[in-house]
Structure 1
Amino acid sequence: MKRESPHDVWVGLRSNSVSDNVVEIASVPSTVQTGYGPVRYALDEIGSPRLLIPCTWIDGLETLTKLSGPSLSVRLSSLQGRDGRVLYVDLVLAAPVLSEVFAELCQEIMSRIASGGNPGEAVASTIQDFRALLADPKTQVVDESSIGGLIGELLFLLKITRNGAGSAAAWTGPMGQRHDFRTSRGSVEVKTSLRKETTHIHIHGLEQLSEPAGAPLWLAHFRIERSSSGRLSVSALFDELVAQGVPPEELCTRLAVMGCNDPYSPAWNASSYELEAFDLYAVTEAFPKLDTLSFRGGILPLGVSGLEYQIDLSFARDRLIQGSDMEYVIEGMSE
């Protein structure tokens, strides 16, 4: 039996030469059945290739929409048919240059369904397997320091949600706040170094190490090193946070603000790392820093529009927080 070509079917739909008029949009059935009807080829409003996988509602089905990325839209659509409305997992290609890959993705999904696979599981597992191939071809390489910085913030979020806090609300930096994390108990600024032995960190502006009014400020310093078999990556930490109870929509909102529109993006997962060390410092007047109190009126000298500087943390060892005191701070940030 000749294998049907998704490309040929979509071309036929564009020319209006084929459509069985079974559902409210122009579509044609494939030879694959899910138990709720045939998988259908269709087009979206602008003619992009589309695959409709009929299914029934089960708890967790909506999580499939989280698999959307810059090149692929995954949604749930209820379409009117001859015998009533039918629920579909609705896949639409968003990057025309990847049409061949999308066709292969659709064929693999149908192959897994034809072999007895659950429709939702077939969609999820196939998209995960094709994730690298579906990456936006226009995606720029992400600077490693940006990847490392994001990993550090995700690591700290992991620490403060490990006891079931289950929220990203304390992660305020991406939402335009002065510090990376803030609760009623205080604020935390996170810095990440990509070498185990480094003691130098970069500070951007006078506000970054300025204490919030009436509350303490701490500095969390992660030291990570690249490893081909490392357990730390943006995608791995995202999965761990979701498994820990943090709502994925909260995470995705903050990640997008930081430029990471897809936690599984190859650009943001170009390297993996291992955690070498974690230190927590109390940022007090004795901490080596420049802040708004370092200049008269908290204003930079005339003609100076910005300030960046380095701190050598070896001069702040007496500000280290350890043991039960560190646990107290982390628990306080779990509110």
Structure 2
Amino acid sequence: MRETSGSVFDYLAKDISALGTFHSRKSGVVAAYGDVLHAVDTEGRPTVLVPIGEPKDGPQAWRSKSLVLQTVNLDVDDGKMPFVVLRCIASNLNHQFGLLVDDLLDAIEVEPDRAANVVSVALDRWRNLFEGDGGGVLSPAQLAGLLGELTFLGELVKVHGPAAITSWKGPQGSRHDFVFAGCSVEIKATTNHNNMTVTIHGGRQLDHPDNGDLYIRAFQLEPSPNGVSVPEKVEELIAQGVSRSELLMALRGVKYNYADSLAYESSRFVLLTQRSYLVDDAFPKISSENLVPRGMIDRLGNISYSIDLGQLEPIEHDARNVQLASLGGS
């Protein structure tokens, strides 16, 4: 198994060159024109060097607040060779850059003859993760809610495979967290160990979807040093085959910045219980469908209310009961 790029960059940074050159090491991945190199520059900034055929074959140079991309001729054993040089200039994103490089190396290993194009494609997947504003750190309550969503996503992946991430629509601004071919699922979490009271935000959150029924999956969690953290759940999903870049982009949509993972390691939760509920006509709710007179919901602001789900009858509904919308069916 190849050593992670992050650990290689940490090792190389211990011996920074003072000669104005890169301190580099072979990555173990070979492109059509030679070895792809891990490197650090004279300031210890992590860099990947990808050999290409001609300078014009490399992607167009650009610079942002986090990344620098250029094509330069570097000295090699038998003269000079053009390399695509990608480096991270934001030290708080060094770990995230290591993940980008791991993804890049995996792709070059599959298509060594198209290394320059592979760099461009990888950057298209990762660039937004580096350029977005980090925002504030999530609260424990927000982390508990996110852990509930990731736990349900993990159940889906076990049944439907890594493509299940396409059903997670909440990070894209959808009304409901998960959308399937024949239903939608809203995830709720509470850290109150005495009851399963959850908060509903907005007058439309429990509106029925256009594609069928609406379900609530509720998680009752308890803070505990022996529990699971969101960063652990993220790595678990990646180990299950979920695309790292797709997952991190979705997390960005819920204001979770991967660069803050260390800050979230201590926020851990154990699962006390989880239950599912059908949001039907008998379910207590405020929605555009039951507000009188109809059509007035958008004139009411700041709607937020709590429901004690422990007083309601749960149903059996899990990942096996849904069909990914991308696969059709119901």
Per the normalisation by structure 1, the TM-score is 0.63
Q: Find the residue that maps to 1:28 and give its secondary structure.
A: coil
Q: Deviations over 1:114-160 (max 9, x none)?
A: xxxxxx8xxxxxxxxxxxxxxxxx97442111111111111111111
What is the DSSP-based 3-state SS (H/G/I as helix, E as strand, rest coil) of the residue aligned with 1:290?
coil
Do the aligned partners of residues 29 and 139 (structure 1) sit closer, same or farther apart at CA in structure 2, a change above 3 Å counting?
A: same
1:251 aligns with 2:247: yes
**Does 2:24 align with 1:28?**
no
Per the TM alignment, residue 254 of structure 1 is displaced from its structure 2 partner at its CA by: 1.2
2:224 to 215, 227, 234: 227
2:72–2:85 Cα contact (<8 Å) kept = no
* Alpha-carbon separation, structure 2, partners of 1:273 and 1:141: 17
Shift of 1:227: 1.8
Q: Does 1:273 align with 2:269?
A: yes
For 2:90, which of 86, 90, 94 is the aligned residue? Answer: 94
Distance 2:37 2:198 in 1: 58
Distance, in Å, in 1 between the alignment partners of 2:252 and 2:179 is 19
Q: Which amino acid aligns with 2:315?
A: I
Confirm or deny: 8 A CA contact 1:165 1:334 kept in the other structure.
no
Residue 217 in 1 paired to residue 214 in 2? yes
Match of residue 242, structure 1, among 233, 238, 261? 238
CA positional deviation for 1:80: 2.4
Instruction: Work out whether 1:50 is the aligned partner of 2:49.
Output: no
Query: Is the 8 Å Cα contact of residues 193 and 222 (structure 1) preserved in structure 2?
Result: yes
Paired with 2:66 and 2:190, the residues of 1 have a C-alpha distance of 34
Select the residue among 178, 189, 192 that pairs with 2:189: 192
SS in 2 for 1:192: strand
Go from structure 1 to structure 2 and tell me whether the alpha carbon gap of 1:207 and 1:53 turns closer, same or farther (over 3 Å shift): closer
Matched, 1:313 2:309: yes
Deviation at 1:56, TM superposition (A): 8.6
Aligned-pair CA distance for 1:332: 6.3
**CA distances 1:258-283 after superposition (whole Å, capped 9, x unpaired):** 11121662233341122221101111
Change (3 A) 1:226 1:42: same
Offset at residue 85 of structure 1 (A):
3.4
The C-alpha deviation readout for 1:209-251, integer Å capped at 9, x for no partner, is 1111350000000111122122x22211111112222211221
Aligned pairs, number: 257
CA distance in 2, matches of 1:154, 1:327: 13
The equivalences for 1:1-335 within 5 A come to 9=18, 18=19, 27-28=20-21, 30=23, 34=26, 42=41, 49-52=44-47, 79-82=72-75, 83-85=79-81, 91-95=87-91, 140-167=136-163, 168-230=165-227, 232-262=228-258, 265-295=261-291, 296-300=293-297, 304-317=300-313, 320-322=314-316, 325-326=317-318, 328-330=320-322, 335=327
Rounded Cα–Cα distance in structure 2 between residues aligned with 1:186 and 1:192: 20
Tell me the distance in 2 between the aligned counterparts of 1:37 and 1:200.
Answer: 54
User: Equivalents in 2 of 1:93, 1:311: separation in Å?
Assistant: 47
Q: Distance in 1 between matches of 2:255 and 2:71?
A: 32
Given that residues 178 and 208 in structure 1 are in contact (C-alpha distance below 8 angstroms), is that contact kept between their aligned partners in structure 2? yes
Shift of 1:94: 1.1
**Does the CA contact (< 8 Å) of 2:159 and 2:319 recur in 1?**
no
CA contact (8 A) 1:218 1:281 kept: yes
Measured in 1, the distance between the counterparts of 2:233 and 2:38 equals 34
Distance of aligned partners of 1:84 and 1:185 in 2 relative to their CA distance in 1, 3 Å threshold:
farther
Return the letter of the residue paired with 1:42: D
The answer (yes or no) to whether the contact 1:139–1:267 under 8 Å persists in 2 is no
Percentage of pairs with the same residue: 25
Look up the SS of the partner of 1:256 in the other structure: helix
Unmatched 5+ stretches in structure 1: 10-17, 19-26, 58-70, 110-119, 121-137
Higher Rg: 1
Task: Give, as a single letter, the amino acid of the residue that structure 2 aligns with 1:259.
Answer: K
Distance in 1 (alpha carbons) for counterparts of 2:14 and 2:320: 61
CA change 1:282–1:92 in 2 (3 A) is same
In structure 2, distance between residues paired with 1:333 and 1:321? 22
Secondary structure in structure 1 of the residue aligned to 2:174 = coil
Amino acid across the alignment from 2:178: F
